[in-house]
Amino acid sequence: MSIIEEVQTLLANGDISQARDKLMTASKDARFKTEALYLLGKLELDQQNPPKALEYFTESLSSDPSYAPTIKVLAPLLEAAGALDQILPLIKMCAEKHPQDEELQSLANRLNLNPELKNPKFTFICIGDKFDHFIKDLARGFADQYDTKILCSSEPQEYIEEIKAADIIWLEWANAAAIIGTQILAQLPKKRVLCRLHSYEVFIPEPQQILWEHVDDLIYVAPHIKKIAEQNFGSHIKKAKRTHILPNGIDLNRFKLNTKKPGKNVAFLGQVNFKKGPMLLMQAALALVEADPKIHVYIGGDFAQPRYKLYFDEMMKDCKQRHRIHIEGRIHDVPKWLKKMDFILCTSVLEGHPVGIMESMACGLTPLIHTFYGAKGLYPEKYLWRSIDDLVEMVKAGPHPPEENRAFIEDGFQLSQQIEGIREIIE
């Protein structure tokens, strides 16, 4: 363990004094000096001592003028003090050195440090914060080539301003965002417009109100979703100029392969709502813990409605093995939570191309997927079950090799492959 790793452990355990001593020692070692001084500055900021923090940050930049973490934390401090001009050349140099650092590029652009490097503006639009989770990785992925921005709003005026300024518009979800967006686009000079339809939209009326003739590229996440959409919305949705099927992609740098000893921990990941089949989920959990004393079921997700929690509580009340069903609420650090799991359970009535399953498979978990409509077109038969008896037998047999599960993602569902697919659509 390096001295910096020791410091991070000490800070995580709240041992500030010893962490400070370790950092002081590390700051005298050329290998760790820049980062140690940066961490000392962060420590002083946390202790409400800005003058001392500035001192350490300045020393850190003296050691390495293009050290991005120091630049990013020092810039707002100096800007608040009216002294940002002291490091403007360093911000410009750092932004040029780290072209994929979205935060640095945004800072440099805001300060007009890259007027000669103005990239086309690529704006991602969704109706609100709860709809933005699939586009953050995409925006970062295009930051090297475009000036990217995410707008989460339901206010038409904000849409007007951003759409006017953008060269390329990505409408995330075929819902109210796409309705507002295409109505505005109808009044403006031609823009390049992409809209991605996931799954729930095929069962709501909003796609019928979207002006598809102003959409250049309609992207579906799976073939069965395209089929349902065209059945439900007919010729109207076919007014989009081009259609594509492009599955979701997983960041394999974030979701790493687990190396734990094989076991029988079954995970469910996602909000407990109607779509996820809450009654089947609970019946599956009860059957699993009754079938094998080694099986534990972990439910990671909040309840969309109180009635689901009441049902879960009632069903578990008379189960003698209920101590092996763990209701864990919303999971904030998904990769860490998945490290103790062996299987990922899906009991949904319908999915498009479910990201939670793909993230889990990237970590090596064996999927246990109830055969929803379209599932056979997405997954091998060995991952599918139709009855609870089938599910129990799959778990009792043990997980597939983690490397085999991850390879399924590596072979066609990586984030980099998804971004390359979008680039090809645009170009």
- Sheet order of strands, 384-385 included: 325-329, 296-300, 265-269, 343-346, 366-370, 384-385
How far apart, in Å, are the Cα atoms of 248 and each of 241, 251, 355? 22, 10, 7
User: Are 167 and 191 a contacting pair, CB within 8 Å?
Assistant: yes
Q: Would the pLDDT of 282 be above 90?
A: yes
pLDDT band at 252 (very low <50, low <70, confident <90, very high): very high
Please tell me whether residues 185 and 276 are part of one structural domain: no
Last residue of a domain, one of 70, 91, 116: 116
Q: What is the pLDDT of residue 286?
A: 97
**Longest Cα–Cα distance in the chain:** 70
194 confidence band (pLDDT: 50, 70, 90): very high
Chosen domain end from 69, 89, 116: 116
Residue type, 102: E
Q: Residue 107: which CATH number? A: 1.25.40.10
Q: What is the pLDDT of residues 224-246, one digit of tens each?
A: 999 999 999 999 999 999 999 99
The whole domain housing 184 covers 121-247+416-426
Q: Quick one: CA torsion of 219, 222, 224, 229, rounded to 10 degrees?
A: -20
155: in domain: yes
Tokens of 101: 């650092």
Residues 134, 215 share a domain = yes
d(CA 133, CA 128): 10
Return left, alpha or beta for 166; rule: phi > 0 is left, psi -120 to 50 is alpha, else beta. Answer: beta
Q: What pLDDT score was predicted for residue 62?
A: 81
Q: What is the per-residue pLDDT for 20? A: 84
Q: How many domains does the chain have?
A: 3
pTM score of the predicted model: 0.71
Q: Looking at the domain assignment, is residue 254 inside a domain?
A: no
pLDDT for residue 86: 76
177: nearest Cα among 154, 194, 193, 158: 154
More confident residue, 205 or 22: 205
Question: Could you tell me if residue 256 is inside a domain?
Answer: no
Same domain assignment for residues 207 and 223: yes
Residues 22 and 130 both lie in one domain: no
Q: Do 178 and 235 lie in a common domain? A: yes
Same domain, 337 and 239: no
- Give the integer Cα–Cα distance in Å for 89 and 135: 32
Report pLDDT digits (tens) over 146-182.
889 999 888 888 888 899 889 899 999 999 999 999 9
Integer Cα distance of 132 and 23 in angstroms: 38
Q: Where does a domain end: 57, 86, 116? A: 116
pLDDT value at residue 131: 67
pLDDT (average), residues 396-414 = 96
Is 378 a domain residue? yes
- Whole-number average pLDDT of the chain: 90
Is 218 part of a structural domain of the chain?
yes
Say if residues 197 and 229 touch (Cβ distance below 8 Å): yes
pLDDT of residue 1: 55
**Mean predicted confidence (pLDDT) in 34-47:** 86
Q: Is residue 260 part of a domain?
A: no
257 belongs to a structural domain: no
Per-residue pLDDT of 90-147, as tens digits, reads 888 888 888 888 888 888 877 777 545 567 899 999 987 666 778 888 988 898 888 8
Average pLDDT over residues 399-420: 95
Sign of CA dihedral 183, 153, 157, 242: negative
Distances (CA, A) of 84 to 35, 64, 80, 88: 21, 18, 8, 7
Length of the chain: 427
Sheet holding 242-245, edge to edge: 147-152, 121-126, 168-172, 192-197, 217-220, 242-245
Residue 54 has pLDDT above 90, yes or no: no
Q: What is the pLDDT of residue 100?
A: 80
Question: Do 387 and 275 share a structural domain?
Answer: yes
Share of the chain above pLDDT 70, in %: 97
Verify that 355 and 277 share a domain, yes or no: yes
Higher-pLDDT residue of 115, 417:
417
- Residues 284, 175, single domain; the answer is no
Task: Indicate whether 158 and 282 sit together in one domain.
Answer: no
**What are the φ/ψ torsions at residue 159 (nearest 5 degrees)?**
-60, -45
Q: For the residues 7-34, what does the mean pLDDT come to?
A: 81
401 contacts: CB under 8 Å, gap ≥ 6 = none
Same structural domain, 239 and 272: no
Stretch 274-303: mean pLDDT, rounded? 97
Average pLDDT value for residue range 69-92: 83
Which whole number is the average pLDDT over 325-335?
95
Q: Does pLDDT of 28 surpass 70?
A: yes
Q: Residue 394 is part of a domain; what is its CATH number?
A: 3.40.50.2000
* Mean pLDDT of the region 322-343: 95
Q: Are 270 and 390 found together in one domain?
A: yes
- Helix (H) and strand (E) counts in the chain: 18, 12
